Amino acid sequence: MTAPDTDGGSPPATGSWTDVCSVDDVDVDDVVRVRNEPPVAVVNADGDFYAVRDICTHEDFPLSEGLVCDRRIECSFHGAAFDLVTGETDSLLAEGPVATYPTRVVDGRVHVLLPG
Ligand code: FES
């Protein structure tokens, strides 16, 4: 239930595991913003949890307003889709990948490794 270390394609050099929500807070194939600073959204993709920076790289729209499909999150504003593992996108609108963060589940809680 964890995503590999990625931060827009490269692993974070340092960080700390942060308890951000319960596994029950994010339904299957849903996405929820769990922090504002930095903005972080947790995605439940078929029971696996992923974390992304909750800001689309096109026009700073919250990805937590988007849709989860095929291990990607699609921005609901103009449709750019980002890979939940790598953050990469093939959208010509987006200005590069979105940051992704490693996750783990401990006692029913989702933890995210945030840079810091
Ligand atoms: S703001 Fe996300 S695709 Fe335009």
Token digits for 77?
Answer: 């504003």
Tokens 């996108």 identify what position?
89
Considering the domain boundaries, does residue 61 fall inside one?
Answer: yes
**Is residue 71 domain-resident?**
yes
pTM: 0.88
Q: Residue 62 phi/psi, 5° resolution?
A: -65, 125
- CA–CA dist 76, 63 (Å, integer): 7
Q: How confident is the model at residue 12 (pLDDT cuts 50, 70, 90)?
A: low
Q: Which residues form the domain of 85?
A: 16-114
* Cα 76 to ligand 1 centroid, rounded to whole Å: 7
The pocket around ligand 1, CB under 6 angstroms, is made up of 56, 58-59, 61, 75, 77-80, 93
Each residue's pLDDT tens digit, 15-71: 899 999 999 999 999 999 999 999 999 999 999 999 999 999 999 999 999 999 999
Give me the number of domains the chain comprises.
1
Confidence grade of residue 13 (pLDDT, cut at 50, 70, 90): low
Domain at 85, CATH number: 2.102.10.10
Distance CA 79, CA 86 (A): 18
- Please state, in angstroms and rounded to a whole number, the distance separating the CA atoms of residues 82 and 98: 7
